Structure formats: C-alpha cells, structure tokens
C-alpha cells in the first residue's frame, strides 16, 4: 500500500482526463493564453483502464476523475464504464462544475457510476461582481455565462 510522508496509507488516485473547461474561472482558466491538447493526443479510455489496473496492483482502490471539466470528454461514459469494470476498484468519483450533468447523469449511471461527486460552486451564478469567468458582471449583478459546447 502506498504511503505519504506522514506514513498514512494512500488508496486513491486522481486522474486528470482533460485540460479543457467550459468555464473560464480566473483562478485556473484565464481568458487568454491557453493552449489545449488536440483530442487525438489525449489518453484514450483503454489507456486509463490500463493505468487503473496497474494502480490497483500496487494498492490504489479509489479513483477521482478531474480536469479541466471531465464531462467535456466525448468518451467520458466509456472511461467510466472501463474503470468501474476493473477488479479491485472500490470507488470512482468525479470533480465537475455539473453544467453537463443533466445530459450525462443517466448514461453514466447505466454504465456503473456509483455517484460520488465534488461539484464546484464556481459554476453557480452569484449576485455580485465576483465573476467566475473573469468578465464584468451584468447590470443585474447576475452572471450571464452560457456553457460552451462539449469538445
């Protein structure tokens, strides 16, 4: 079992599955200067499965999919399906802004997703000048963003 510098057992592994996001929060996705990997260069679902099998063999049992925004991956359902089938995986979680969850929740559930999610509050419009996307707020003070299409 892997251990950290405080000798605590570590049984979880975070996997970043995309560098893309459908929000432009100033703390992680500035409005300018971003270069994204082409889709063809992203790790493929079978490769995530291979990584999970290797990680399980050395003691990892829980996995968290992160990004960017993981739900932007067109093959997110396949990635989830492959990871949930790996013997020894006892937990699969997702960090998301949840903007695409209405269209993906049911397909993910059908593929074996045992729901554990961290939903970012940055995706919730706020009645203030603090904008997640770095753009000025509207007169009403409410954020006026629209989700960007899936990559």
Report the run of H or E that residue 56 belongs to, with start and end.
Answer: helix 45-57
pTM over 0.85: no
Higher pLDDT, 115 or 107: 107
Nearest to 63 by CA among 81, 85, 89, 37: 89
Higher pLDDT, 106 or 51: 51
Domains and CATH numbers, the chain: 12-123 (3.20.20.70)
DSSP-derived secondary structure letter, 95: E
71-to-6, 10, 23, 100, 123 alpha-carbon distances in Å: 34, 26, 12, 6, 13
Question: 24 has which bridge partners?
Answer: none
> CA 125 to CA 133: how far, in whole Å?
10
Mean pLDDT over residues 89-104, rounded? Answer: 90
Query: Hey, which of 12-21, 110-119, 127-136 has the most confident mean pLDDT?
Result: 12-21
For residue 144, is pLDDT > 60?
Answer: no
Mean pLDDT over residues 62-81, rounded? Answer: 93
State the pLDDT at residue 20: 87
> CA 95 to CA 18: how far, in whole Å?
12
> CA 147 to CA 30: how far, in whole Å?
16
Question: 119 has which bridge partners?
Answer: 96
Mean pLDDT over residues 104-124, rounded? Answer: 75
Query: What digits encode the pLDDT tens for the residues 5-38?
Result: 999 999 999 999 998 888 877 766 666 777 888 8
Mean pLDDT over residues 81-96, rounded? Answer: 93
């Amino acid at each position: 079992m892997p251990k950290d510098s405080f000798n605590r057992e570590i049984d979880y592994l975070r996997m970043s599955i995309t560098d893309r996001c459908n929000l432009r929060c100033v703390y992680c996705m500035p409005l300018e200067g971003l270069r994204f990997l082409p889709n063809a260069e992203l790790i493929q679902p079978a490769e995530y499965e291979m990584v999970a099998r290797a990680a399980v063999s050395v003691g990892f049992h829980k996995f968290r999919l992160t990004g960017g925004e993981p739900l932007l991956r067109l093959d997110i359902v396949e990635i989830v399906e492959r990871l949930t089938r790996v013997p020894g995986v006892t937990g699969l979680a997702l960090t998301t802004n949840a903007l695409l969850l209405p269209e993906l929740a049911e397909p993910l559930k059908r593929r074996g997703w045992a729901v554990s999610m961290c939903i970012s509050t940055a995706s919730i419009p706020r009645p203030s000048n603090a904008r997640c996307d770095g753009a000025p707020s509207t007169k009403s003070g409410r954020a006026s963003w629209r989700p960007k299409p899936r990559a």
